Structure 1
């Protein structure tokens, strides 16, 4: 048998269940409860180990930091490109696979072939010089800017 229909409009009852009430003191009675719906205990994001004294979240955006270091990624992008016209290593380290493989293939196939052929023509020197400039500027931007890893998380600061 079902209960008789209520004559009160829906939603006119008590705003909360009488069994669910905040403590009188405002302090949680059991650990892990927060009346504002936030996590009571900080957990490391994505299982990333947090170094001692290093913040786990970017203070500007509030996003969790990547486990990759910004300085390492920038130097891996900048130094091989400066000396060997080899770009993309820093991007591969940071997890930007598509851009890293593109830069690596362009540097080996187009850049080095254009440099070798440049001894006979002038235009291939412009191609390899343009690639070199792209890789160097990308490395400087990784060092000075706010680069992100392959998952969109900001790289851990120096």
Structure 2
């Protein structure tokens, strides 16, 4: 199958060898000379890891490719892809199961909260189980409030985005 403006399947007109590919050349509407709507893509970036590679968002003007969610105005660190509102609300309502910490990627603290909750429910037949559940509930509430205020960071040490 040929597309408008595509040369015939002749090895002399196909230097890349796409005519021998099992399904032919993949369709690229911008290969026919139509300019890309975002403008020309820059060919090099000073922090590119390999020649010809571009970081996320490098072709868009005004966007920091190393901080796609913005930067913290105080520290200058890039914001995490995790939201502090989502993390805080998950921790307040489901924090005894460690859901807010699991959302942030902190599996150790989330696992401890979940484990203490399970131990609390198992030992609830004794009075000590209710004390464990109360302690985990208070811990989850304070942890959720700290997440909402922005004093908790994600697994990479980045501040949570607003």
TM-score w.r.t. length of structure 2? 0.56
Match of 1:127 in 2: 132
Once residues 72 and 130 of structure 2 are traced to their aligned partners in structure 1, the CA distance between those partners, rounded to angstroms, is 41
Once residues 104 and 127 of structure 1 are traced to their aligned partners in structure 2, the CA distance between those partners, rounded to angstroms, is 12
* Contact in 1 for aligned 2:116/2:132 (Cα 8 Å): no
* Contact in 1 for aligned 2:84/2:150 (Cα 8 Å): no
Match of 1:44 among 65, 80, 88: 65
Structure of greater relative contact order (alpha carbons < 8 Å, 6+ residues apart):
1
Match of 1:87 in 2: 97
Query: Does residue 66 of the first structure (1) align with residue 71 of the second (2)?
Result: no
Query: Does residue 111 of the first structure (1) align with residue 140 of the second (2)?
Result: no
1:101 CA displacement: 1.7
SS state of the match for residue 65, structure 1?
A: coil
1:71 CA displacement: 0.4
CA RMSD, 1 decimal: 2.5
Once residues 145 and 114 of structure 1 are traced to their aligned partners in structure 2, the CA distance between those partners, rounded to angstroms, is 34
| Paired residues, number | 104
Once residues 130 and 63 of structure 2 are traced to their aligned partners in structure 1, the CA distance between those partners, rounded to angstroms, is 54
SS state of the match for residue 97, structure 2?
A: coil
1:68 CA displacement: 0.5
Once residues 143 and 113 of structure 1 are traced to their aligned partners in structure 2, the CA distance between those partners, rounded to angstroms, is 31
Match of 1:76 in 2: 90
Quickly say closer, same or farther: Cα 1:104–1:124, change in 2 above 3 A: closer
Once residues 103 and 58 of structure 1 are traced to their aligned partners in structure 2, the CA distance between those partners, rounded to angstroms, is 29
* Contact in 1 for aligned 2:150/2:160 (Cα 8 Å): no
Once residues 122 and 71 of structure 1 are traced to their aligned partners in structure 2, the CA distance between those partners, rounded to angstroms, is 35
Once residues 101 and 123 of structure 1 are traced to their aligned partners in structure 2, the CA distance between those partners, rounded to angstroms, is 20
1:49 CA displacement: 4.0
Match of 1:100 among 102, 110, 133: 110
Runs of 4+ in 1 over 3 A off after TM superposition: none
* Contact in 2 for aligned 1:114/1:128 (Cα 8 Å): no
